[in-house]
Amino acid sequence: MERQAALDHYLSLLANYPWLRVELCWAVIESKPHVLEEHELGDRLALGHPWEIRRGQLDEFSDDNVVHISYARQRAAFLLLEIGYHVSRPDVLSMLSRNADVTYVHWNVEGANQLAQIANGQSVWSVDIFDADEWPSQVFHESPLFDLFRMTSNARAASMAIVDLMTGVRLENEFIEGTGSGFVFSYFPFQPGVR
């Protein structure tokens, strides 16, 4: 029942915000042994570049030269939401997952469709959300949550429900619509191989 409720939540969320179906990067960072502070998270995201915290709605930040990542704390975890790809960069994931677990989903129109978990800079597992038929059989045995992909034809909703159920952190309508805090820094290009 819990799985179906989570799946229904994300089916509704994607129906209410069709622009999320185009591009999304949603990550949950569960740090250990201590909870990350905002300044630590900002430093990890910006990879040594200057950054600041601004308040505003997610869709207010559309400048191609600025990265804006909305965030909120839920219990001992941080929730990050970005209309872009910065959080999914290997060098950023490596920093975010230092003494932490990062569970995230990312898709865009260019074919990046990843659901993954990273711990201490290492991939625990990673799958293409639109290619479940090609996953090794052991992926489904690692967690019954992956059966969510068999419960719906909407791979985006299934992958979001998996992040939710694995972390206990839910992406709510209020977070998307509300005025919240976001990390903002100038765009800097991706350098392949940087970790």
Q: What is the pLDDT of residues 68-109, one digit of tens each?
A: 788 888 877 899 998 888 899 999 999 999 999 999 999 988
Residue 155: per-residue pLDDT: 93
Average pLDDT over residues 107-125: 90
pLDDT classification of 192: cutoffs 50, 70, 90 = very low
Residue 25: per-residue pLDDT: 93
Residue 10: per-residue pLDDT: 97
Token pair listed for 137 = 């059989």
The answer as to whether 195 is a domain residue is: no
Q: What average pLDDT does the chain have?
A: 84
Spatial strand order of the sheet with 122-128 comes to: 52-56, 180-186, 66-74, 77-82, 24-31, 100-107, 113-119, 122-128
Tally the domains of the chain.
1
The answer as to whether 191 is a domain residue is: no
Beta bridge partners of 122: 119
Residue 194: per-residue pLDDT: 38
The answer as to whether 189 is a domain residue is: no
DSSP 76: T
Average pLDDT over residues 156-176: 93
The residues, any chain, with a CB within 8 Å of residue 154's CB and separated by 6 or more, are 11, 14
Range of the domain at 101: 2-184
The answer as to whether 190 is a domain residue is: no
The answer as to whether 151 is a domain residue is: yes
**pTM greater than the 0.75 cutoff:** yes
Comparing 172 with 194, the larger pLDDT belongs to 172
